[in-house]
Amino acid sequence: MDITRQGYVRTDITTDGVAHIIFYHPNHNSLPSRMLAELTAAFEAAGKHPDARVIVLRSAEHNTFCAGASFDELAAISDYDTSLSFFSGFGSVINAMRKCPKIIIGRIHGKAVGGGVGLAAATDFCMASKYASVRLSELAVGFGPFVIGPAVERKVGPASFAQMALNPSEWFIADWAKSKSLFQEVFETVEQLDAYIAHFCKNLCASSPEALAELKKVFWQGTEHWDTLLNERAAISGRLALSDFTKQAIADFKKG
């Protein structure tokens, strides 16, 4: 079976108004284009659902939160249009999260790489366990964190974004991510993480939906140009990902 066809995205809405958008892929929760499209649709649908007052983004069934782009799919891409479409998928998810009228909370239970860091950065309030180290690995395979860059830089600042982007083999621990405001809270255990998220969501669900929607607009002021910006960034990644350097680097990575 084609591994890029595996995995799922689902939305579970609890009786108290929390929409849990959950994704899973057997390859370290990596994201093929199909799942990126499903995540985009999930955020758009949850944003409109009358029973969803707050959204929690989480992954399941693996110690890794998200390994980023699917190298299995990327390795098979041989033309620019397909490459552009693949990277545009990350832009679509980030823009869907940005435009969603509901507050999105990130639950980062384990390591996040590349696009996984981008997902964390695109949440409105992000909480993690101490196991949630982060890494932007893109430069090591011949391109860079171009599409997710605006979301990451918005949270951590230009200097810390450059530090991550230029050190693609380095893991930055969860406390470092908290010190740079990528994470707002870090917990010793996943159980503590989940308990606090439940408490936090309960308080938000008791708040005025109109006030939360207005706050969401305020949080994202100044990003109105991202539809165009992220498409431009996807074009850079789409071109570089077809290089001989990238093809060889991904092949070497897949060999282990």
For 178-230, the pLDDT digits (tens) are: 999 999 999 999 999 999 999 999 999 999 999 999 999 999 999 999 999 99
pLDDT (tens digit per residue) in 13-40? 999 999 999 999 999 999 999 999 999 9
Distance of CA 203 to the CA centre of its chain: 24
Position 87 in a domain: yes
The DSSP code for 211 is: H
Question: Which has the higher per-residue pLDDT, 150 or 61?
Answer: 150
Q: Exposure pattern of 117-131 as b/e (b: 16+ CB <10 Å)?
A: bbbbbbbbbbbbbbb
Position 206 in a domain: no
The CA distance from 131 to 135, in Å, is 13
At 135 the three-state DSSP class reads: strand
Computed on alpha carbons and rounded to an integer, the radius of gyration of the chain in Å comes to 17
The pLDDT, as a whole number, for residue 256 is 65
Position 197 in a domain: no
Angle between helix axes 226-240 and 149-156 (nearest 10 degrees) is 120
The DSSP code for 243 is: S
The pLDDT, as a whole number, for residue 254 is 72
Closest by CA position to 74, among listed 63, 89, 59: 89
Position 32 in a domain: yes
Position 205 in a domain: no
The pLDDT, as a whole number, for residue 223 is 98
Query: How many structural domains comprise the chain?
Result: 1
* Residues in contact with 164: Cβ distance below 8 Å, sequence separation at least 6, in sequence order: 117, 134, 135, 136, 145, 152, 156, 170, 172
Angle between helix axes 158-165 and 149-156 (nearest 10 degrees) is 130
* Residue range(s) defining the domain that contains residue 8: 3-189+222-255
> Residue 125's domain is classified under what CATH number?
3.90.226.10
Position 214 in a domain: no
Position 130 in a domain: yes
pLDDT (tens digit per residue) in 97-148? 999 999 999 999 999 999 999 999 999 999 999 999 999 999 999 999 999 9
pLDDT (tens digit per residue) in 48-104? 999 999 999 999 988 999 999 999 999 999 999 999 999 999 999 999 999 999 999
Position 241 in a domain: yes
Share above pLDDT 70 across residues of the chain, in percent, rounded to a whole number? 98
The pLDDT, as a whole number, for residue 4 is 58
